[in-house]
Structure 1
């Protein structure tokens, strides 16, 4: 999904919100203002995601508690998907559950085997409030689920269990940026 020239981005890189910051652990608010400030937010999100070498970024990862995420991610067929979605809702996650390596820009340098479905469907809006539907498989499905989780106040470590969870939370606590709240 491409919406105008936003991925070329004239946005500004913003500081990332790290694990432990309360904004990551609360559901985000729906976007109601589809004006220029939303366009600037999406531009800044793309600039920040690319600067951090990520494949997705939710607005709360830069401290904005709004339901918006951006992505630049490949699917099972090596097709690159670049875009954004406003007020996304994960309406379908199904298929095979795969425990794969997952990281997060809010936990820099860490990853853990996280279970995700290999297919996802997200419905939302574009910058004008028009409907958008995304379908993802493989890595892109994982990305869609991960970013929707962020907007619901869930970090991927909340989905990890057992020794994997203990290990990644220990690593986060020891990281230079580490301040875990869960």
Structure 2
């Protein structure tokens, strides 16, 4: 396992739609988890380390001492609630920038796990927000893309 460098905006790989995975990615997943914990973050998508494949990892409760790592390969967003909440989101690829982002409070996803099993689950609360954030990365979307032009310009100027 290795801690990998995390790409920072405006690296063009962060705005690229990722390809589906058809090979074993257990080594990549282990490296991603190690990188996420070292960052320290609660989620990490493959494009953030320069791998343009549809995989992300997350562990929403590890900072509270409850390790529950998740690896989602080729995730699909099946449903999102009409109810939304707006709150602060940080991103490992946008260090020091916190953006107010509106997200569904509940979502349903389907993905493949490391054993090749198809999984489906409803995420709520912070887990729903984290999964949507990482899923966005697989589609080349950053938190900046959720901001109005003035707020985005302000956030971008803070990064330069």
**TM-score with structure 2 setting the length:** 0.91
Structure 1 contact 101–111 (Cα < 8 Å) conserved: yes
Structure 1 residue 162, shift from structure 2 partner:
4.3
Q: Once superposed, what is the RMSD of the aligned Cα atoms?
A: 1.5
Structure 1 contact 54–105 (Cα < 8 Å) conserved: yes
- How many equivalent pairs are there? 156
Match of 1:164 in 2: 151
Structure 1 residue 81, shift from structure 2 partner:
4.5
Give 5+ residue unaligned stretches, structure 2. Answer: none
Q: Structure 2 CA distance, aligned partners of 1:154 and 1:21?
A: 12
Correspondence for 2:55 among 58, 64, 68: 68
Structure 1 contact 24–61 (Cα < 8 Å) conserved: yes
Structure 2 contact 33–69 (Cα < 8 Å) conserved: no
Structure 1 residue 80, shift from structure 2 partner:
6.8
Q: Which deviations, in whole Å up to 9, do the C-alpha atoms of 1:94-148 show, x marking residues without a partner?
A: 1421110001000112111111111111111012321011321111111010011
Structure 1 contact 114–160 (Cα < 8 Å) conserved: yes
Q: Structure 2 CA distance, aligned partners of 1:134 and 1:15?
A: 30
Q: Structure 2 CA distance, aligned partners of 1:148 and 1:20?
A: 19
Q: Structure 1 CA distance, aligned partners of 2:153 and 2:86?
A: 16
Structure 1 contact 113–164 (Cα < 8 Å) conserved: no
Q: Structure 2 CA distance, aligned partners of 1:91 and 1:117?
A: 12
Q: Structure 2 CA distance, aligned partners of 1:80 and 1:141?
A: 17
Q: Structure 2 CA distance, aligned partners of 1:150 and 1:95?
A: 22
Q: Structure 1 CA distance, aligned partners of 2:101 and 2:77?
A: 17
Match of 1:122 in 2: 109
**TM-score with structure 1 setting the length:** 0.81
Match of 1:23 in 2: 13
Q: Secondary structure at the match of 1:70?
A: strand
Give 5+ residue unaligned stretches, structure 1. Answer: 1-10, 174-182
Q: Secondary structure at the match of 1:73?
A: coil
